[in-house]
């Protein structure tokens, strides 16, 4: 049996988070799922039925987390060793809401996690287009297409996510025993778990099954030697377990090419 871990899952009612929760509980890990609507508690608690770990559902508004100290208070309450950010306004509602959650609250939890010695991994669910610069493995044409998508159609979401992703990378480097892992899927679908492409992908668009995103998140949390890194992912032709093993062993890092790399 895997050693017991305590996971703080931020944005627990999201589709990826609901797929991830049983995967963590099956490992006999404990999960504290943070949601904002009390009406969602009963349905979420059913995700833990018959599984080895303990599921605790807390009702808190991430939108109201406006400082590192507030985020640290929640971390100190839950006492996780792993944190997963699967929350966000997703560009919906007022622009301020996207910035408050996807950028500001995410950054507060990142900094609070790095400041907590017992937290050793933080997985951020981001998206493939969250980049400041063209990576060497993308052509200029692909880069321009990506700019047209991420910086126009998804402008405020892009701005919020790329800011949080940079902070995770930079802050994560401050501790040798901390892995800030930014998992970066493409267009999300409801397809079942399947084979994946993971790492430096030659394309900037495509589909990513939410179930595969959840599966990869669990595998990355489970990987003992995973390092601070960005990992792009799409549906592909490699077994997820093999893809994670390869990326961890080779030290794949898709943050290469960013100004802070």
- pLDDT value, residue 256: 97
For residue range 180-209, what is the model confidence (pLDDT) as tens digits?
999 999 999 999 999 999 999 999 999 999
Q: How many folded domains does the chain comprise?
A: 1
User: Can you tell me the mean pLDDT for 12-27?
Assistant: 97
Q: Is position 82 within any domain?
A: yes
Does 206 reside within a domain?
Answer: yes
Distance CA 47, CA 19 (A): 9
The Cα 48–Cα 31 span in angstroms is 9
Supply the DSSP symbol for 104: I
Angle of helix 68-78 versus helix 106-114 axis, rounded to 10 = 60
- Residue 257 in any domain: the answer is no
Question: SS3 helix, strand, coil % of the chain, rounded to 5?
Answer: 45, 20, 40
Residue 149's pLDDT band, with cuts at 50, 70 and 90, is confident
**Residue 21: is it exposed, middle or buried by C-beta count within 10 angstroms (0-12/13-18/19+)?**
buried
Residue 2: pLDDT above 60?
no
192 is written with which tokens?
């079942």
- Domain span at residue 124 reads 6-250
pLDDT at 93: 72
Residue 23 CA: distances (Å) to CA of 18, 26, 108, 112 = 9, 5, 26, 25
Backbone angles phi, psi at 227, to 5 degrees: -115, 170
Q: How high is the pLDDT of residue 1?
A: 43
CATH of the domain at 10: 3.40.50.720
* Per-residue CA distances from 42 to 7, 37, 45, 128 (Å): 20, 11, 5, 33
Position 261 in a domain: no
- pTM for this prediction: 0.96
Report the C-alpha dihedral over residues 236, 87, 98, 212, rounded to 10 degrees: 10
């Amino acid at each position: 049996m895997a050693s017991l871990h305590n996971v703080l899952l931020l944005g627990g009612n999201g589709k990826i988070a609901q797929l991830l929760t049983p995967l963590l509980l099956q490992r006999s890990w404990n999960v504290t799922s943070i949601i904002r609507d009390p009406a969602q508690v009963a349905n979420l608690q059913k995700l833990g039925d018959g599984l080895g770990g303990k599921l605790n559902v807390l009702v808190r508004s991430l939108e109201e987390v406006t400082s590192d100290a507030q985020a640290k208070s929640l971390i100190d309450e839950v006492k996780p060793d792993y944190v997963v950010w699967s929350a966000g306004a997703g560009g919906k509602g007022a622009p301020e809401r996207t910035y408050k959650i996807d950028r500001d609250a995410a950054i507060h939890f990142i900094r609070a996690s790095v400041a907590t010695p017992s937290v050793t991994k933080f997985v951020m669910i981001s998206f493939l287009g969250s980049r400041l610069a063209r990576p060497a493995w993308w052509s200029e044409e692909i880069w321009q297409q990506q700019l047209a998508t991420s910086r126009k159609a998804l402008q405020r979401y892009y701005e919020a996510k790329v800011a949080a992703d940079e902070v995770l990378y930079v802050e994560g480097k401050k501790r040798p025993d901390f892995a800030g892992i930014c998992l970066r899927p493409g267009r999300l679908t409801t397809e079942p778990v399947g084979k994946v492409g993971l790492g430096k992908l030659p394309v900037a668009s495509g589909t990513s099954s939410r179930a595969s995103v959840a599966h990869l998140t669990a595998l990355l949390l489970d990987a003992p030697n995973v390092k601070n890194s960005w990992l792009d992912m799409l549906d592909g032709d490699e077994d997820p377990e093999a893809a994670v093993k390869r990326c961890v062993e080779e030290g794949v890092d898709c943050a290469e090419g960013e100004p802070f790399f």
